[in-house]
Chains A and B, each alone.
Chain A
């Protein structure tokens, strides 16, 4: 990098969005939450809608999402983000409203709110981070925990006879007429990140057109909860999560 002539001719090709605060994320090393936060804020910045956007944070690791996303935000009770978002969006029908929820929040305690919000076709974007574990409380079994996956409350592995099956919420909501756009994405590779950002952009664009609910699942990693290092968590995600939660669109306007 001693070649100063080259440095002078460099142009900026990527910087983090100014809608993302400079505060250091409290997430564990390698955690996908940071990428998901950044992508949402990149889209908000690129669309120029930060003055019209209201986010709803969940309970879980991303409970402090409002420390990082520099838009107006509300902190919902565990599982109630979709109801809170409904209240906001009904009062402010021309604004952009999104929820950011983990698997415990959205697919266990908040199942009813999620299903009914999508079924009403609320004009909101739901971002669903699925890492198959309760991260914040220390790695307990989640509704999306895989069969035989070891967690601190399924120490011998998730036995479906006793603990039920992994819940594929995204497949479930795709069947609802209120869902306009349903997709499953990930953030573990550069390509996955590019696709995920496109999906997030779609979700906001459809909201602008008052098309109904957009639902974007983001399959993510939890190195601490999975008890692996960040690099291995990417491999674990590919080997175990993706077969159960395959990436791709589940409902695309005009195609279903």
Chain B
């Protein structure tokens, strides 16, 4: 097929899934390997339309298991590669992810999270926080996890995800949800070809005479060697924690009640903050944009002068464990969650916040 010219910067109205797919092409993605699953199939559909006359390769794999292993092979061959799926499919990829993390291959994943456990529901959820942030597969490893809260960030975090993945030779994941994937918003798309690319020296591209064979592996039979690999990985994760924490704050300056939420929940909580302020409750929002690395330090700082924290998620309470670790007993941490694909309303969160405020006022009297 005839190749079109590189696209310039453009502002468009797009679905979150499509913005993510378009951004991937613009970020110079060399390969996409995926499998259809609701609510993210638009990504594969969009790429099968666009990629043949733009750049890279796209392949519908026979399963998520195959897709993530194609990613392993293609990333090992030095490509900038991506796969996307939704919760049950991401579960199937965990084995491959563990291998990719251990072999230190850069790649980007997106999990358009739906409600679980099991086959669950196709409605939006944040039930995969633990799986994304705490490892998911076997062994001690971490993904870099980015949590977009808008269609704009669905696109921006593709660039950021590739950048961080390649900088640290580590898989990065965009953890969004079905609503972010399906909603339409204005998006400012970066110019195609604006993300620099080099073939890494460790890639298996065929061995020239000047060097020995490049080997991509996660197998180190000797315990001493395997511990060395683990120490290296942990040191890398520490560097990531020191340098790559990203978050956004809203009305945090004078906030007495700090709400913590990511992704779709954060959009709703933002409205709750406005409603609370109207009622004279000094509320503010801290929205982690990176879930790993998590903004422990900033939350701990805020805990020094906040009356209470309220963590809001579309699950049974997962990120709240990290918020509690960060707060470290300095003040109380409350949780409000909805499950099964139900999105909480700003009002029902406000109700919880009002109860917390009453309780806290009573304690002070």
Contacts and interface: CB of A to CB of B under 8 A. Distances in A.
A90 B59 contact: yes
B205 A77 contact: no
A50 B30 CA distance: 24
Give the bracket for the number of chain A residues in contact with chain B. Answer: 20 to 34
B294 interface: no
Interface stretch (A8-16, A64-72, A173-181): A64-72
A241 to B, nearest CB: 29
Nearest to B96: A77
B329 interface: no
Contacts of B219: 63-64, 75
A91 interface: yes
Given A73-B216, A75-B215, A51 B209 contact: yes
Nearest to A66: B215
Contacts, number: 130
B84 to A, nearest CB: 15
Contact of A91 (B31, B66, B99): B31
B204 interface: yes
B30 A91 contact: yes
Interface stretch (A52-60, A202-210, A226-234, A248-256): A52-60
A90 B62 CA distance: 15
A92 interface: yes
Interface in B58-111: 59, 61-63, 65-67, 69-79, 81, 95-96, 99, 103
B69 A77 contact: yes
Given A84-B72, A91-B74, A92-B77, A54 B30 contact: no
A86 B70 CA distance: 6
Given A54-B204, A54-B206, A113-B66, A83 B215 contact: no
A73 B77 contact: no
Interface in A84-98: 84-88, 90-92, 95
A77 to B, nearest CB: 5
A112 B61 CA distance: 11
Contacts of A83: 61, 65-67, 69-70, 72-73
* Across the A-B interface, the 6 shortest Cβ-Cβ residue pairs: A87-B73, A87-B74, A83-B69, A84-B73, A87-B70, A75-B217
20 contacts: A51-B206, A53-B206, A71-B207, A71-B213, A73-B215, A74-B73, A77-B99, A80-B66, A83-B61, A83-B65, A87-B70, A87-B72, A88-B76, A88-B77, A90-B57, A91-B73, A92-B205, A95-B205, A113-B69, A116-B61
